[in-house]
Amino acid sequence: MKAFTSKDLWDVVDLFFKSNNLALPQIASYDDFLNVSLTQIAADAPPIIVDVEPKSRKEYKFTRVTLRVLKIYPAEQFAKNKPNDCRLQNSTYALNFNARVQITTQNFGDEEVLKERTFNMECPLCPIPMLLNSAHCYTNQFPLKHIRQQRVRNDECPFDEGGYFIVNGSEKTLIASEVNRSNRITVLQGDAKNPKELISAKVVSSVPERALYCKIDVKLEYVNDGAQKQPMLMCYMPGFDTPINVFILMMVLFPGDSFTDQQLLQIISPDNDPEIINVAKLSYQFCINQGINSPARALQLISQQFKPVLQEAISDQTITELMKTKNHFATRFLPHIGTDQAYNYQKCAFIGYMSNLCIQCHLNKRGFDDRDHWGSKRLQLAGSLLHDLFRRCFGDFCGSVAKEIQRKKISFQDDNQEQIFRNQFKITAVNLISKQLCSSLATGNWRTGRVGQNAGKKTGASQNLVRLSYAAAISQIRRTTSGIEESSKAIGPRILHGTQFGYLCPAETPEGAKVGLVKNFSLQCRISVGCKENDTKIKQILKNFQYEGEICLKNLSQSLQGVKVFFNGQWFGCVKLEHAKLLTRHLKECRNGGRISFETSISYNEEAKELVVASDSGRVLRPLFALTNEINKDKLLENSKLNICRDDIEQAMKKQDGWEYLIKNERRLIEYLDPYEEEQSLICTDLMTFNKNQEIIQQIRSGNYSLIPPTYTHLEIHPCLILSAISALIPFPDHNQAPRNLFQASMGKQAVGIYALNFEKRFDTQGINIIHYPQKPLTQTRTMKYVKFTDLPAGENLVVAIAIYTGFNQEDSLIMSHASVDRGLMRCWYILSHEATCEIESRSDLSKRDLVQKICRPVDNVIHPLDRNCEKYLQADGMGKIGQSIRQGSIVIGKKEPKRDSYDRIGAEGNLYEDCSTIIKNDEIGYIDNIVLAREKRDNYSDDSGSLSYSAKVKVRSNRPPQIGDKFSSRHGQKGTVGMLYRQEDLPFTYNGVTPDIIVNPHAIPSRMTIGQLLECVGSKVGAMLGQIVDGTPFEPPVEGDSHEDYLTSKLFKCGFQKHGYEATFCGFTGKILNYRVFIGPTFYQRLKHMVLDKVSARATGTVTTLTHQPLEGRQRYGGMRIGEMERDTFIAHGAAAVLRDRLMFSSDGTDFLLCKTCGMIAWHADQKKISTLSQPKCYVCDDKAEFCLVTMPYVCKLLVQEVQAMGVQMKFEVQTE
């Protein structure tokens, strides 16, 4: 068998990315929502029962929700609903769904049903927004080998990964949110603010499909038993204002009419641990002393304290309080275990186990759980979020349909009753489901909560997809947020946790207040979807597992001893200690053979005596190579081998889905692990370490060994896969200081490149940049091609010199070659789209030629036109020609609206119009790049709508060559702005005439320690000389030598250069050789979106705010620049008092006032604009004794005087006159 090499490893990575789209976490979750959740929610909804006639009843039961497929070629149903058409028409990209309704009609006699008839009917339900690139999306309806060509033909980018929605023409993405796991116990230390609370064991029991939710908290806390305070077990749960003693709760749940103290204590400590029993006895004895010694007495006491919540309130007066309490514990208490009284003993055992964990922590026999452990987190992606929202909307829909049908009193004898039902379903569903889904996606406000209750709101669930670059869009789709407020001072959720390794990127997180709260998935991360069929199979395997003819799993009524088996949080049973490993191995064999899903987690904790099986959705997973180990009689590792070999890879590469072949192979080639299963594994970090371990094993076989080899269970596919899609673009990141990689992860998303190949067909409202001459980096990482950076690069290879030259590159500024800029270096387009919409209430208005909004030249019958010369450059349709130049003040889209009078009437003053054209502002200079006129379908789900609205979109393109003030960055967090542009003859040059494109200050290197940039420069220099791409993949050993530095420097030396990249250079001004060596070579640089033309702001005297008379705020509104405290201090330090006075008063809100020198108050004057010595001011306080003087002060000073007067404080001015 051939040895497993690095090439084989990268072939496996190729297979992984061929089957795993970068947007797969969102797409897989959404597909599960469409294929499973829609039908499940509809089927679980209670039937709609309508009593139409006195002795007639009709029952509607939803059985299935499916996509409405037309009876033609499948792609034809998308003919009017293609993604890019939706962008242009400001409509929502959605597909129509049908609901199959089972209708049962019943006619009653006096006491029985006389006639019953049941039939199924397909009813149009509603359109549901479609996630791009999902299974039913238009872009996926073509053969796989032609899919890219078909996307190009339909004006889509062939590299678009999807994973976002189009709502009202805007691209929206749902951000994955972290939530704590449900149905699993978490033991935490007591609240420090509550001294009596010692330990708390919490569980959130929930059944999302049925909207059942119950939070249980068992606490060990000090309770006064009359003589002294004793630690006792108390349970906090919904429906009870005061805590309940755990033993009282166990008595209620215990089957039968009697029990012994030994039976209850054995539930808490099945192993009869005397220390645990002694602590538990204190709580039990307290119950006995209170006279609670039977289930009936315990139920009576609990019933007196029970206060049912609104949803559980029972109006039937014949039901007693005891029956209400019993019903609550059967259906609402710990619902994940069961919702029937048959599960009461399992619930009793579960409460006992929670009590056991509390006591173990109290006795220091067990540690506390870590709430930041990523095994205890679940992620809500597109499917999970839409599931919660749709369930709520569908409940409202069912209630509304029932009311409408009841109100209309449709008779069973109506011939067109089916059509009436269909229409009613469609109208109600569109209003209550489609519009609510679109509204939530558009605003990000998510309605959460249970059906029938007032739902809380979750904000920020959706965001506009950022299209600054291709990498920025991918990063946003693969982002997760913790939901913790930015202002939170908690450190735990922000820092890197060990259990995040391999699942979340250690480098990509925002700077500032959101650091650590917003994270990104690693390249190899997968999110589990979950499946009910898989859950059923796992339960059968657990129940039927036998060893030597004996069923190993005992249910809780049979035994509570041994290893506890948990499945999705439910205590499923117990197995003997000797059978636990056999059951674990059997489950893993079933997983590897494909009998159960590869997403299933199987974790056996021998120390805690727990076998935890999880198959729920929202868990993070990652793939690893599986190893097989052989242990000798001395318990030393005798043999360790990879299960996968070259033959397996070759076999997988021949198949359509080779990755699925590898993960579902019975030989256990690759396994998906979650953080809990990973904790019970030992993972080798890389192939080199594994090979060294093999050498140690060989020494053991020969009998000469000095080291004991670790028993690895798995091998990393490659360590670089722990990075995110953005961090994976950084060459040699393992040689950089950690914060620099974090900065590059932020700046890499701001780099100017080509964000999509269909940018000419798009009209993005946010300003975008397109670089003219993108280049592939000379130094690349192996993962770069999977993020499409080689196809859509964002930057260019520049000759960079690290040197001091004339002083214009101090403090992170750069010196740039003007000649290189003239030749096209880092040039880009800035593209901004302008839009105007015309809304016409009725189509008949067009035929009557009434006064309506029009997109045209705003000339005829227009009062106060914005530009009287617009006829010279606007066409009759109100838009200019493609290629026409425009500048500030030009009209880009002409539009006029009918003038309304004071009563909001149109036409009362004649056929007059107002000019509502879109004009160019903010010093924009450019050319019209493209124009489109489209009919809008915003929120319109029918083509038969009487209203009509259409929009005109004009795309303006401007050229942006680099200039002083523009921002640039390397791929290592070394950012800077252009400080000077020098002609080529003024720049330093090497002995062979090479002049640098950029000169960077050498002080940027030592403190920041970006050694990766130096290695990239040397590597790119080698690549340029040899005509090859240099590998900068992190954690990848070099081809030759012990380190990348040795390998690259030796290669550079062979090319005839100084091995460390230094060269002698000549001064461009004098021609003399410089007395220092210059580090020079090619480096990949990025131009960032921050350009000086977007920042420039100047203002003369202009519009001011009404209240304060100060200039407006913001560049878009031609606002002023605020002088803050730091600027004020600077003027004071320079002694520029007059400048400070000018900036703070005369340039802002300086106003002339008349003051009364007698009382010191502001005088009244009839007209403030005409203050003079001839006018007659008046002081109401002093009257004839008043003496006036004219002063200048800020207007807000007068405002302050008036505001404090309202609080009863009088401010007076003292005026000194010469």
Which residues have a Cβ under 8 Å from the Cβ of 82 and sit 6 or more positions away? 138, 154, 155
User: Helix and strand tally (H, E) in the chain?
Assistant: 30, 54
* 567 closest CA partner among 600, 592, 591, 598: 600
- The CB-based long-range contact list for 265-273 (8 Å cut-off, 24+ gap) reads 266/560, 267/348, 267/349, 267/352, 267/560, 268/352, 268/355, 268/356, 268/359, 269/356, 270/559, 270/560, 270/561, 271/561
Query: What distance in Å separates the CA atoms of residue 1031 and residue 731, rounded to the nearest whole number?
Result: 8
Instruction: Find the length of the chain.
Output: 1218
Q: What are the residues facing 536 on neighbouring strands? A: none
- Residues 832 and 879: beta-carbon distance below 8 Å: no
Which tokens go with 702?
A: 């020969």
674 is catalytic: no
* 777 closest CA partner among 762, 756, 795, 760: 795
Query: What distance in Å separates the CA atoms of residue 39 and residue 43, rounded to the nearest whole number?
Result: 6
Which tokens go with 845?
A: 């208005």
Query: What distance in Å separates the CA atoms of residue 572 and residue 554, rounded to the nearest whole number?
Result: 9
Query: What distance in Å separates the CA atoms of residue 1101 and residue 1086, rounded to the nearest whole number?
Result: 39
Report the SS3 class of residue 778: coil
* 503 closest CA partner among 612, 614, 597, 619: 619
Q: How far is CA 104 from CA 412, 413, 415, 597, in A?
A: 11, 14, 17, 38
Q: What are the residues facing 123 on neighbouring strands? A: 99
- Residues 722 and 506: beta-carbon distance below 8 Å: yes
Query: What distance in Å separates the CA atoms of residue 389 and residue 437, rounded to the nearest whole number?
Result: 7
Q: How far is CA 71 from CA 68, 74, 95, 124, 350, in A?
A: 10, 8, 15, 15, 54
Residue identified by tokens 């021949």 is 654
- Give 437-460 as a DSSP string: HHHHHHH--EEES-TTS--EEE--
DSSP 8-state code for residue 141: S
DSSP 8-state code for residue 709: P
Query: What distance in Å separates the CA atoms of residue 1201 and residue 501, rounded to the nearest whole number?
Result: 60
Query: What distance in Å separates the CA atoms of residue 726 and residue 22, rounded to the nearest whole number?
Result: 12
Q: What are the residues facing 1120 on neighbouring strands? A: 1113
Query: What distance in Å separates the CA atoms of residue 382 and residue 133, rounded to the nearest whole number?
Result: 13
Instruction: Considering the candidates 812, 939, 1094, 1142, report the single residue annotated as catalytic.
Output: 812
Which tokens go with 63?
A: 């059985």
How many CB atoms are closer than 10 A to CB 441? 27
* 290 closest CA partner among 199, 236, 223, 365: 223
* 476 closest CA partner among 674, 724, 721, 158: 724
Query: What distance in Å separates the CA atoms of residue 1155 and residue 1162, rounded to the nearest whole number?
Result: 5
Q: H-type helices in 874-947, by residue range?
A: none
- Residues 550 and 753: beta-carbon distance below 8 Å: no
CA–chain centroid gap for 748, Å, is: 18
End-to-end CA distance of the chain: 106
Relative to beta strand 1062-1063, strand 828-840 is: unpaired
Active site residues: 812
